[in-house]
Chains A and B, each alone.
Chain A
Amino acid sequence: MIPEIGHFAMILALLVALVQGSVPIIGASRGNAAWMDVARPAALLQLVLIIIAFLALMWAHVVSDFTVLNVVQNSHTTKPLLYKITGLWGNHEGSMVLWVLILAAYGAAVAVFGGNLPPPLRARVLSVQAWIAIGFLAFSLLTSNPFERIFPAPINGNDLNPLLQDPGLAFHPPMLYSGYVGFSMAFSFAIAALIEGRVDPAWARWVRPWTLVAWCFLTAGITLGSWWAYYELGWGGWWFWDPVENASFMPWLMGTALLHSAIVVEKRDALKAWTILLAILTFSLSLIGTFIVRSGMLTSVHAFATDPERGLFILLLLCVAIGGSLILFAVRGPSLQPGGLFAPVSREGALVLNNLLLVAACGTVFLGTLYPLFLEAVSGDKISVGPPFYNKTFVPIMVPLIAAMAVGPFLAWKRADLAGVLGRLKLAFAAAVAAALGAVALEGGPVLAVLTMGLAAWLLVGTLAEWAERIRLFRVSPGESVRRARSLPRSAHGMTLAHAGLAIAMAGMVAAAAWKAESVKVMRPGESVDLAGYTYRLERVEPVQGPNYSSNMAFVTITRGDRLVAQVTPEKRLYPVQQMPTTEAGIHTTGLADLYVVIGDPDAAGGWTVRIFYEPMVPWIWAGVLLMVIGGGVSLSDRRLRLGAPARRAKAPAGATPARA
């Protein structure tokens, strides 16, 4: 009964979305306030209905209702409760329900917080949100109904893919989808602005915080996925330039560009058409990202069971959404009023450069991801595009971006003095040289790695120098500096944190790629191996029984000289329901490096294949990204950007924020 309620609620949600997608927007074009007012209750009702559907599906998973096909295919009575809950979105049908739930939540947020938006804009935005919901609800109901029953009901289910039974991956999809779907806000606002033919200040004040929210979620989501691949797959790598990874990385790159161009719209009322185009492209890439993973179009090391038969519906949906919005942009874009002037060397100029480089970088990833598909369709040749391609395309585009990133924040709006700014970056330059020399002294190695380590230091010190200059650190008394830091807008602190975070993450990425060491050996209990200054001794291997798996757990002690560093316990698990082995890496982090141990199969003579990685600075990647997300959060808490704040701001005295518009 409860699954039917869920199914029915989803059908009702689709009907509500049809109303929400038509009545308010017609009302907006006719100036009919009553019709426009339909949008807000409709958005809230839609959220309630989808919550009911979501909870119904979750109930079926939690109580292991094996009359529901989705539960049979993805659950098992012995599965731990956490994974019964998260198993809901560990499969195609359930993840689509999560997708529409998040979409409805964002739509409801416009309805709740959008009291200060001009009513026609709000009505149009909510209608566009409803169009997206119609597409996805129809897709879900027509091609991938999660509530489908099965008769006769089996005694037990097929279990969730054991690789997904992991805390890192349990929360990766909600984060990632909150990011993807969050960009629907910028998209809906962009489409609404194109229909209205104007971009007003309220528009920019809304788009930026929502883009920032989406960006934070997406950053966290991608990193959770990457972290999971790092410790769960046992390959010792954290990024493989795999199509599925690229699918989430492309909207991130484009969304980062959008985040920065929205600043120019907000502060200087320029780049409006460009920002709208970026909003459309970012969400389009989010849609492509969702579907690349779902459709089985691309061969990937990460692709889980996929169903190409859904491809046609997906393709149609993509064509309508992306093609339609781009056509609308081509028709209405030129009519947008151009904004303020600026010199090439200025904050605006720097942000334009940032945008161009990010979009070009995104383009190379896009080509690398889709070119194999294209080539196969045209010539029948099968190719794969791997890390060497991206090292020759993506990396060289990122280098000038990072170099300019330290300079940009110093530049004044409208017109800036580049020579003067470079003079103020002497310290950063010195730090870059020092870091490069340090890298040579400590590790030696590839010239490119040494130079990029210098670049990371340049960015870190340049970013901190800009912050120090703003609070006039060491030039005025410490108390005065603290007072200045307090009065600095939170978005400034946020930028400093995010840029510094990128510098730290980048140092980690470069070091992990350049100075990683690896050893593979068959070890008997009692034997040891030396790698990168550490000694690894295999003590013993014990069978261990988990809730729904059995495991061989190895005990490896790591010593450096005479000092005991750590004991790690890598495992090789077997999940009997799916007859599937998985690897659990044993990782000890020193803060400067990860010591990473994986155990393989036993041989006839009582030895075990042991693979050991020395992963320099990988923890810095996670720390750096965490700092970026925190930076985004801090910036979001800025009074100026706080959700719903524009209303208060409008009433606040003009002195509260510098009048820039």
Chain B
Amino acid sequence: MSKSSAVPSGVTAATLAKDLRLEWRSKDALNSMLFFSLLVVVVFSFSFDPNAEESRQIAGGLVWVAFLFAAVVALNQTWARELRNHVLDAYRVSPAPANSLFMAKALGNFVFVVVLEVLMTPLFIMFYKLRALGPAWQLIPVAALGTWALVVNGTFFAAISLRTRSREIMLPLLLFPVSIPALLAMVNATTAILTGELSAKFWIVLLTTYDVVFTIACLLLFELVLNAE
């Protein structure tokens, strides 16, 4: 690979900072995403009537499906800005390693989706009167690992979808099947923690394995995807 002259972490940090700064300045995407998240929570509350006992059983699934939709909307925009300004071509000819670009994008998306989750969670807790009967602190690694699982594959597939006709629908079409084990893990871990009935340990191990496997796969294959025109 000829692109290893630049310092990878420096490029990643710079790209990430640029993305976050742009997001903050424009606040476009952020505002619409916030409103979307609120809408999702409200619609779910109307659709799945929560009384306290049942809600703990289904909350895990509801929350993660809501996060999944929010993540897809966020991911769809990932490369939109780059495309508009032909930034991708500039990246391709620059000496920056493709991996750095990928990590920057993935981390940026991760921050973005985590912000959405942090905003949606209190609403869910309120509407569904949630209280964790199991070890609540475990929810943090579950949320972090789960979000990373969605975001890392999502960023990769978003890059692939760039070169397809129905871009916005291709992303979920590609992402959902591959994410099934991660989704299963996230939902069951959350339910296990909320109901306190079972241990979330196996699920957390599975999520970690999933994250490691697919992060490596994405890093190995991203350069090919970036160069595919």
A binds B: no
Residues of A within 8 A of B (CB): none
